[in-house]
Structure 1
Amino acid sequence: MSNVKTAPYGSWKSPVTTDLIVSETIRFGLSALDGDDIYWIEGRPAEGGRNVIVRRSADGTLTDMNPQPFNARTRVHEYGGSDYAVSQGTIYFSNYADQRLYRLTPGSDPVPMTPAIERRYADMIVDQPRQRLICVCEDHTNVEREAANLLVSIPLNSDGHTNDIQVLQSGNDFYADPRLSPDGSRLCWLTWNHPNMPWDGTELWVADIDAQGAITNAQRVAGGPEESIFQPSWSPDGTLYFVSDRTNWWNLYRLVDNQIEAICPKEAEFGTPQWVFGMSTYSFVSAEQIICWYAGPTESGLAYLDTKTKTLTPISIPFSSATGIRANEKQILFLATSPTSSGSLVRLDIPSGQVEILRRSQNTVIDTGYISDAELIEFPTEHGLSAYAYYYAPKNVDFVAPEGELPPLLVISHGGPTSAASSKLDLSTQFWTSRGFAVVDVNYGGSSGYGRAYRDRLKGQWGIVDVDDCVNAAKYLVQRGLADGERLTIQGGSAGGYTTLCALTFRDTFKAGASHFGVSDLNIFVHDTHKFESRYMDGLIGPYPERKDLYDQRSAINHTDQLSCPVIFFQGLEDKIVPPSQAEVMVEALRAKKLPVAYLPFEGEQHGFRRAENIKRSLEAELYFYSKIFGFDLADPIEPVLIENL
């Protein structure tokens, strides 16, 4: 006798609860190898989102290195990344609360290295021969102009009181990836200027370092305004390698006798958009062997690359992606995901080839009867083109829907917008599918992973191409009989929130939506956002104020007369990237139109929620909202949400 129950889509009871999602989940950050010790960052929602540096000793012992309340997180570019460096057991890290650098010797309390002034630091490397750090500094001390970004050096024994920072490079808008050659005689770095983002155009520079530690003979060796360089790295024999998209795909190159040589031409990406510092898609096992991850429309994988023969040898691993790759002659470290695992820190032992999972982001094993598999779909969109998405069918082993009922569809528009959806297990997605929603996570034109030409589809077309692709993904699934055309909803965060608000305002496809810290007024965003993205929209929309007409046309706030469906808004009140005003103006407009609207502001949250209670509340509130709009009962009690005008 079957125990399967019949219940409407949306009302299925699921073991994928918000308590499970927030209490058992950690976020992985920068990993590092220091001798036989392994380090990584854990972002812990249960500790208010605090970033903890964890050390795994050779014997397997795990130790939290930075004590409470220290939070290893930099705010350079606001998105941060590369929040610490470690050498010979000593850690140098940026502390979130004051953005000062601290020196942490095991067994001692952290000691400040930089003055308590408005400066931030990231992407640190340790220059042991000269006993100093080299890093990116973002100087906010001059409030009359935008922050200045620099490459600087700081003595390892700095006491935090004297301002003994030496400026190595300045004058450009942005710097990243300072990397020392193995013999310490040369330094490379990336730099770029407004209005470019690092995936638009960057320059790779190399310089000598003199006896006093100063930069000499600096020269640009690759890159420019139309070429994106990613992750310059020195091999153990002192050869400079880097990733470039000069042939449409981010491929690997090296500099030999001042000539650029391709070492693995392939219609696949060996790089990724540099949203945060310290990203790594390859590393050196030896001068003759690289470990790398590549991904393309037809194949992807982890592989060894022989630098002499240029032969790529795939490595069989039970994962669908690998990021944050670090290696030495003994071991390889990477962050891995798959359709059945949300994230693991993995160690590959080189001599034996054995794969060991060091830490999982989610320890609870969920029965596969409640896990919906990602299906990569290619669907038709405007101008005779195709776009891509991951489709997830409703799935719950305990329930079926009544005969003839079609599921509500949740369309997800990812952030960035130069980012990408992936097939990795995301419990937030399974939260919906296990309750009876279909989900489609759209890689609209502009997403990464499909080559530069696909990325460039969004040039001057933000708010059009992304919206078209989200709408067409929904229509495609309705036409296939996989979704209820009267219960289509869309949600997204940040740039995905902008796409969401545009789709709800300028199209009539969706019946409801959820904006998570989304942009509603491009004009305000131009003036209010941080330096890193302050000219991003020159490429996505057009130069400002010359093309203010386009900013007005594509700002949902200016066209609320076209908006005719319910919306729920989620907003961090300390968000410096998309300030609260962006949500509040839309909420007021919906109130004035007497449309159903809900607004949930969160104290202490920035761009993207890190606290367990707020992640939990956001998911449950969105489900509650849809249940009221679409008229289905909830399987579990949820704290009600105030929905005005309902």
Structure 2
Amino acid sequence: MVKIASYGTWGSPVAAADVAQASSSPAWVTRHACGVWWTQAKPAEGGRLALTRDDGHGAREVLGAPWNARNRVHEYGGRPYALLDTPDGARVAFTHWGDQRVYLLDPDEGDPAAISAAPDRPHGVRHADLVAGPAGTQVWCVRETVTGERPTDVRRDLVALPIDGGPARVLAASHHFMTVPKPSPDGRHAAWIGWEHPNMPWDGAELCVAEILRDGAFGPHRVLAGGPREAVCQVEWESPATLLALTDPDGWWNLHRVGIDGTAVNLAPGPWEIGGPLWQLGKRWFAALGRGRFAVLRGHRLAILDERTGTVTDVDSDFTRWSDLSGGEDGVVTACAAGPFTDWTAVRLDLSTGDLTELSAPAQGLPDPAYLPEPVARVFQSPDGREIPAYVYPPTNPDHAAPDGELPPYLVHVHGGPTGQFSPVLDLEFVYFTSRGFGVVAVDYGGSTGYGRAFREALDGQWGVVDVRDCATVAAALAAEGVADPARLAVRGGSAGGWTAAASMTTVDTYACATIMFPILDLEGWTSEGAETHDFESRYVEGLVGPLPEFRDRYRDRSPANHVDRLTGPVLLLQGLDDEICPPEQADRFVAALDGTGVPHAYLTFEGEQHGFRKAETITAAHEAELSFYGQVFGFTPPGVPVLGLRR
């Protein structure tokens, strides 16, 4: 029998612990002759990344605790392992979080052995974006070295690590930021991507090629594509004389063939995004299949690009988002994939037969599909006529219905980046709320990727304005349509999404409250001058807000930290204490200014958490606190969660 109960009070089979348990997504899928490999998150084990292999006889964990195949280059990390065909057989090289060194392992026997030197200070030398060097006797990677006490005191080199543990060799240092060099099939050239401050890699990045000299050193590099306003995001060798590169000279990330002589051809021109923002070194959006065909990610959907016809055709699949493509001329693709009712899974797809095999174990704690909301794609109009894509997740619970005439509370979810892009896939974090009677709407505000450079650059100089306005426009439209209760709207987000949530509460009166997770709150501190963030993003805000010192007043005027007196409602802040990207000092100052103002608020901090939460106990506590917070603001008591204490 269906029970009549107010929105937000519905009994749900999805506990916060289930959200934590389901946060064990696979990533970094790679296909090799010795099997399909990926990393698997382990929330119950402190959030470590286990290295997993399927050699045709089922998946097994290759590295048990305490090994953690993760690194902190750029603080977001990059590809943490590579498969090598050495003279002694297949080997896997990987980075270990504990000391940030590179280790080599025989996947069939033995223990890992370090092949990079021990740093002089903890995490003082980091490695990422591993690939096999020529002849399988070296690991090539990006090496990041801490050179001082400021978070921006960092040097990067492209290095070769001999697999016998010999001294590292610097191959190149063409730019302040670089991806790993990749050797050409004949071993005569190497190619990589580089960029400089103040650009982020999606603003402008260059495709570099250098000759590999007889002694293994690199000759001078040449730039074949990219530039200050053109961003190369992935490069692979096709032949000794040609490369395949994702770049956007026409405003869209399309696949190009680039000759080492500098010639370039767009293989399938069109207003579609195949590439994406290079937040983590080693991300892949395409894989060659042979005979002029390529598996590509168009808007995160799997598609086939055929250069003979210049077309890009979606692959019919229940999975609506794919990542980490790895392919081959046999037409088999491996990847991570997810759908509206399916969590992230490592998969193998045979394109010739349509046979799809799920390689990783299904996530635990998933509810009956009847409790899963079906996301509805919507497009809203901004005041200036620009389209705002969004996905609406309605309250969904077969056991409950609301009283006649009652409208549900809605949570406006703001993605991070701010270059993120939302896809309609199963998100148990959303289900935790929708199964209790909340609606959720995820907004791709101006600045999101997936819609071309012009849409992405709508946020240039307008961070804290366009993002806030777009999210508020969507919330107001849902309220005007009678979909959402206008008195019970909340905004939530983490990182850049936390910035937008905080800026919303100090500039618009749309929301009753906000959940602000590991946020940016003070723009002046989040610069190379302020030295409160890491090197990778230390000049990011020059594009999002304006260069200093010319626009210093704008930095101060937009920073929520300077306008606590303008808060329009209660706020919940959630912060990891080991966060190097959005450090706790900003949240500490914000809450200190809030104390004694009479504005209800709560501040939860978590030991051992970096940027984003990985530990099961943290994820559980954060979701229970958020639910209790909304209940207190919206005037109901959520069943089954501890009451969050609010300060004033």
Letter in 1 for 2:154: A
The separation in 2 between residues aligned to 1:303 and 1:193, in whole angstroms, is: 32
Partner residue, 2:65: 68
Task: After TM superposition, give the deviation of residue 286 of structure 1 in Å.
Answer: 2.4
Cα deviation, 1:74-131, whole Å, max 9, x if unaligned, reads: 1000001201111233111111011111111232111111122121111111114272
Is 1:152 the equivalent of 2:159? yes
The separation in 2 between residues aligned to 1:130 and 1:410, in whole angstroms, is: 51
Is 1:558 the equivalent of 2:562? yes
Q: Map of 1:221-300 to 2, 5 A cutoff? A: 221-235=224-238, 239-256=242-259, 257-286=261-290, 288-295=292-299
Give the secondary-structure state (helix, strand or coil) at the position aligned to 2:73: coil
Is 1:322 the equivalent of 2:322? yes
Give the secondary-structure state (helix, strand or coil) at the position aligned to 1:229: coil
Letter in 1 for 2:177: F
Task: After TM superposition, give the deviation of residue 386 of structure 1 in Å.
Answer: 2.3
Is 1:381 the equivalent of 2:382? yes
Task: After TM superposition, give the deviation of residue 234 of structure 1 in Å.
Answer: 1.2
Q: 1:123 aligns with which of 122, 129, 151?
A: 129
Partner residue, 2:635: 631
Task: After TM superposition, give the deviation of residue 36 of structure 1 in Å.
Answer: 4.2
Partner residue, 2:643: 640
Cα deviation, 1:378-429, whole Å, max 9, x if unaligned, reads: 1122323221211111111111111111111111111111111211110101
Partner residue, 2:112: 110
Give the secondary-structure state (helix, strand or coil) at the position aligned to 2:563: helix
Give the secondary-structure state (helix, strand or coil) at the position aligned to 1:444: coil
The separation in 1 between residues aligned to 2:311 and 2:605, in whole angstroms, is: 53
Closer, same or farther in 2 for the Cα pair 1:218/1:112, shift >3 Å? same
Task: After TM superposition, give the deviation of residue 201 of structure 1 in Å.
Answer: 0.3
Is 1:425 the equivalent of 2:431? no
Letter in 1 for 2:176: D
The separation in 2 between residues aligned to 1:133 and 1:473, in whole angstroms, is: 48
The separation in 2 between residues aligned to 1:247 and 1:57, in whole angstroms, is: 42
Is the Cα–Cα contact under 8 Å of residues 22 and 366 in structure 2 kept in the other structure?
no
Give the secondary-structure state (helix, strand or coil) at the position aligned to 2:40: strand
Show structure 2 runs of 5+ residues with no match: none
Letter in 2 for 1:124: L
Give the secondary-structure state (helix, strand or coil) at the position aligned to 2:132: strand
Q: Map of 1:262-411 to 2, 5 A cutoff? A: 262-286=266-290, 288-295=292-299, 301-330=301-330, 331-360=332-361, 362-411=363-412
Give the secondary-structure state (helix, strand or coil) at the position aligned to 2:70: coil
The separation in 1 between residues aligned to 2:163 and 2:423, in whole angstroms, is: 40
Q: 2:3 aligns with which of 2, 5, 21?
A: 5
Which range moves more in the overlay, 401-410 or 309-318? 309-318
Closer, same or farther in 2 for the Cα pair 1:81/1:130, shift >3 Å? closer
Which range moves more in the overlay, 551-560 or 303-312? 303-312
Partner residue, 2:41: 43
The separation in 2 between residues aligned to 1:606 and 1:639, in whole angstroms, is: 25
Is the Cα–Cα contact under 8 Å of residues 339 and 423 in structure 1 kept in the other structure?
yes
Task: After TM superposition, give the deviation of residue 639 of structure 1 in Å.
Answer: 2.1
Cα deviation, 1:432-465, whole Å, max 9, x if unaligned, reads: 1110111111111000111110000000000000
After TM superposition, the score normalised by the length of structure 2 is 0.95
Letter in 1 for 2:544: L
Task: After TM superposition, give the deviation of residue 294 of structure 1 in Å.
Answer: 1.1
The separation in 2 between residues aligned to 1:598 and 1:130, in whole angstroms, is: 53
Is the Cα–Cα contact under 8 Å of residues 521 and 587 in structure 2 kept in the other structure?
yes
Is the Cα–Cα contact under 8 Å of residues 182 and 238 in structure 1 kept in the other structure?
no
Letter in 1 for 2:320: S
Is 1:547 the equivalent of 2:547? no
Show structure 1 runs of 5+ residues with no match: none
Give the secondary-structure state (helix, strand or coil) at the position aligned to 1:336: strand
Letter in 2 for 1:219: R
The separation in 2 between residues aligned to 1:130 and 1:405, in whole angstroms, is: 65
Task: After TM superposition, give the deviation of residue 288 of structure 1 in Å.
Answer: 3.2
Letter in 1 for 2:132: V
Partner residue, 1:513: 514
Partner residue, 1:416: 417
Closer, same or farther in 2 for the Cα pair 1:406/1:351, shift >3 Å? closer
Is the Cα–Cα contact under 8 Å of residues 235 and 287 in structure 1 kept in the other structure?
no
Is the Cα–Cα contact under 8 Å of residues 29 and 81 in structure 1 kept in the other structure?
no
The separation in 2 between residues aligned to 1:451 and 1:24, in whole angstroms, is: 32
Is 1:26 the equivalent of 2:30? no
Task: After TM superposition, give the deviation of residue 345 of structure 1 in Å.
Answer: 1.1
Q: 1:139 aligns with which of 135, 145, 155?
A: 145
The separation in 2 between residues aligned to 1:133 and 1:332, in whole angstroms, is: 25
The separation in 2 between residues aligned to 1:315 and 1:640, in whole angstroms, is: 47
Letter in 1 for 2:46: G
RMSD, matched Cα: 1.7
Cα deviation, 1:561-617, whole Å, max 9, x if unaligned, reads: 211311111000000001111111121222131111111100110100000010011
Task: After TM superposition, give the deviation of residue 363 of structure 1 in Å.
Answer: 4.3
Cα deviation, 1:198-243, whole Å, max 9, x if unaligned, reads: 1000000111111111112421000001001111111257520111
Closer, same or farther in 2 for the Cα pair 1:24/1:270, shift >3 Å? closer
The separation in 2 between residues aligned to 1:303 and 1:630, in whole angstroms, is: 44
Which range moves more in the overlay, 140-149 or 522-531? 140-149
The separation in 1 between residues aligned to 2:515 and 2:43, in whole angstroms, is: 22
The separation in 2 between residues aligned to 1:340 and 1:181, in whole angstroms, is: 41
The separation in 2 between residues aligned to 1:51 and 1:111, in whole angstroms, is: 18
Cα deviation, 1:22-81, whole Å, max 9, x if unaligned, reads: 2244122211122141100001101110111101112x2322122321111010000012
Partner residue, 1:201: 204
Cα deviation, 1:485-528, whole Å, max 9, x if unaligned, reads: 11111111011000000000111111111110111111122221
Letter in 2 for 1:81: G
Letter in 1 for 2:216: G
Which range moves more in the overlay, 238-247 or 481-490? 238-247
Letter in 1 for 2:254: N
Is the Cα–Cα contact under 8 Å of residues 507 and 566 in structure 2 kept in the other structure?
yes
Q: Map of 1:607-622 to 2, 5 A cutoff? A: 607-622=611-626
Letter in 1 for 2:84: S
Runs of 4+ in 1 over 3 A off after TM superposition: 141-145, 306-314, 350-353
Closer, same or farther in 2 for the Cα pair 1:314/1:515, shift >3 Å? closer
Give the secondary-structure state (helix, strand or coil) at the position aligned to 1:522: coil
Percent identical pairs in the alignment equals 39
Partner residue, 1:77: 74
The separation in 2 between residues aligned to 1:75 and 1:321, in whole angstroms, is: 26
Letter in 2 for 1:51: L
Is the Cα–Cα contact under 8 Å of residues 282 and 290 in structure 1 kept in the other structure?
yes
Task: After TM superposition, give the deviation of residue 268 of structure 1 in Å.
Answer: 0.9
Letter in 2 for 1:181: S
Give the secondary-structure state (helix, strand or coil) at the position aligned to 2:129: strand
Give the secondary-structure state (helix, strand or coil) at the position aligned to 1:276: coil
The separation in 1 between residues aligned to 2:291 and 2:179, in whole angstroms, is: 24
Which range moves more in the overlay, 538-547 or 476-485? 538-547
Which range moves more in the overlay, 17-26 or 457-466? 17-26
Task: After TM superposition, give the deviation of residue 368 of structure 1 in Å.
Answer: 2.7
Which range moves more in the overlay, 467-476 or 144-153? 144-153
Task: After TM superposition, give the deviation of residue 142 of structure 1 in Å.
Answer: 4.1
Task: After TM superposition, give the deviation of residue 132 of structure 1 in Å.
Answer: 1.1
Is 1:600 the equivalent of 2:614? no
The separation in 2 between residues aligned to 1:8 and 1:554, in whole angstroms, is: 37
The separation in 1 between residues aligned to 2:615 and 2:494, in whole angstroms, is: 16
Letter in 1 for 2:200: M
